[in-house]
Amino acid sequence: MLDDSMIRRNSLTRRRGHFLGVFLKEIKAFTKFALGNIFSREFMTVLIPLLIVWEAVPRLGLVPEALVPAPSVVAVAFWDVFTNLNMAEHIGASMLRFGAGLLLAAAVALPLGVLMGWNSFIRSHTLPLFQLLAPVPPPAWVPITIILLGIGLPMQVFLIFLGAFYPILFNTYQGIKETDPRYLASARVFGASEFTLLTKVYIWNALGSVVMGLKIGIATGLVMMVISEMYGGRSGIGFLLLEAKEFFQIDRMVVCMMLLGFIGWFLIEVMKYVESKLALWRIGR
């Protein structure tokens, strides 16, 4: 006979197995979704000729090989960087900074954007300030940030935060503000409270804009990550990029640039996948 603890354990194991199954299924679906975009026939017809031209141009001496390394040279440098420079640690360090900065930006900008779009009192008191500050290019904040936060992780996280904050804030605000009044009126007819309107109408209506803000925030955050890693620290992809630049290792520089491009592409694909899961009605647009 099975006792209660055995039944509970079996049920827990079954539930864990179920979650793992769902997780693996989602990973498989995401991989198909993301790779499907990049390995499409349409993109290949652009990518392959570009790679051939890129390989041929320096090899034929049309541009100096020293300044434009061919893809085959970059591939060798890629292997060299990964085997000799402890690349996994550098990527880990960069992702830690980037993740912290992006999460902080999303945690502040999303609720603020919702409140600004929803309430005209909050909007009129805060929007002018952000509109004044947003045009200041994030790299211009570097000296003040160093003075206030020193050189180190807090300064780097803050700079990434600054890069990602405004696109997320303004896209969220715009998405909320442009909620179709007919949806709001319908919900009100059914007695929806303001809180219900926020959680069931405004936010879902703004989902596309929010995801777009996050995508732009990822791109600008990555720019700021590279800038922030040029100061103080001796780890991260930005540091490797700067070091390669300072010591004329152009092939390594291209490796770092491609790696940053890959990380940006991957994160944006994640956002697109999340959007496709949450906003089924947008699929196919």
Residues found near other proteins in the complex (CB under 8 A): 41-42, 45-46, 49-50, 53-54, 57, 62-68, 146-147, 150-152, 231-232, 245-250
Taking the least distance from each CB to other proteins, the nearer of 67 and 129 is 67
Contact 192, 130 (CB under 8 A): no
Give residue 56's Cα distance to chain centre: 33
Q: Is 180 left (phi over 0), alpha (psi -120 to 50) or beta?
A: beta
Contact 72, 59 (CB under 8 A): no
Taking the least distance from each CB to other proteins, the nearer of 128 and 154 is 154
For residue 254, the minimal CB distance to other proteins (Å) is: 13
For residue 83, the minimal CB distance to other proteins (Å) is: 20
Taking the least distance from each CB to other proteins, the nearer of 118 and 239 is 239
Q: How far is CA 51 from each of CA 20, 57, 58, 171, rounded to the nearest angstrom?
A: 39, 10, 12, 35
Contact 180, 204 (CB under 8 A): no
For residue 101, the minimal CB distance to other proteins (Å) is: 19
For residue 46, the minimal CB distance to other proteins (Å) is: 5
- Closest to 25 measured CA to CA, from 15, 17, 36: 17
Taking the least distance from each CB to other proteins, the nearer of 35 and 62 is 62
